[in-house]
Amino acid sequence: MNITERQREVLMAIIKEFMESADEIGSVTLLEKYNFGVSSATIRNEMVCLMEEGFLEKSHVSSGRFPTDQAIRMYVKKQLEDASSNPMLSIEIKQGIYRERFSKDAVINSVLNLLSQNTNSIAFVVLDGILRYWGVSNILRYEELNNEETLRSLINIIEDPTFLVKLCQKYGSSKVSLLIGEEFGIKNLEDCSIAFIKTPFWESKESYVGVLGAKRMDYRKVVIALKEVRNSLQTSMQGWS
């Protein structure tokens, strides 16, 4: 990353604010909330440099800036490098799956409920080309997704019997796959992200679990949850018939 330490600090502060509110962030807000020890003009200059490096962008209706997909991916990478396990989340997922392990449909419902509740996103399961999902109302938690164009595109995707299936088949692996913002390649979904992982599931030859939600989702929690679901499914398979 070809930026100075102060620019990195400014960028991380902007991303943090964006992940909480989805608003564009101005230099005055940064100075009010963060102790950079420099003037507003200096912060604005650093923001210009970050724009030139491709980490920030702005709309035509505000003097503030918001992070690009490149910046968010960098932020997510740093988050995941520093990520530690979440014992309470792990226990909840393990117990939820293990409790229902003798019923295929019950396990599917448990996975969908656990993921949607813990990630505030749409949870989905793909089993041999068939898609199941839950938690569409979670999208309404995010102001930036509450517009007709985005909602229509999201609903079209989850009601399409093949889109998410093909996406998982193309990018899925034993590690969590992430597509952030414009990486979707779908109009009106620039403010969305998707995360999924390939997992064993009963006798299915090809299965995935994942979440679809806002670009400012809690990636650390999402990745931990998906990995824990995969591990719990693999362990619980020993009791399935």
Q: Which residues contact 121 (CB under 8 A, 6 or more apart)?
A: 115, 135, 138, 139, 211, 212, 213, 214, 217, 222
Strands of the sheet containing 207-214, edge to edge, are: 130-134, 122-127, 207-214, 192-198, 177-180
Predicted model pTM: 0.89
User: Which residues on adjacent β-strands are paired with residue 66?
Assistant: 57
- Rounded CA-CA distance 46/9 in Å is 10
Which of 227, 237, 209, 219 minimizes the C-alpha distance to 77?
Answer: 219
Written as tens digits, the pLDDT of the chain (241 aa) is 678 999 999 999 999 999 998 888 888 889 889 988 888 899 999 999 999 999 999 876 666 889 999 999 988 888 787 666 778 888 888 888 888 878 889 999 999 999 999 999 999 999 989 999 999 999 999 999 999 999 999 999 999 999 999 999 999 888 899 999 998 888 899 999 999 999 988 788 889 999 999 999 999 999 999 999 998 888 877 655 4
Sign for the CA dihedral angle at 13, 15, 21, 22 comes to: positive
Phi first, then psi: give them for residue 231, nearest 5 degrees. -65, -40
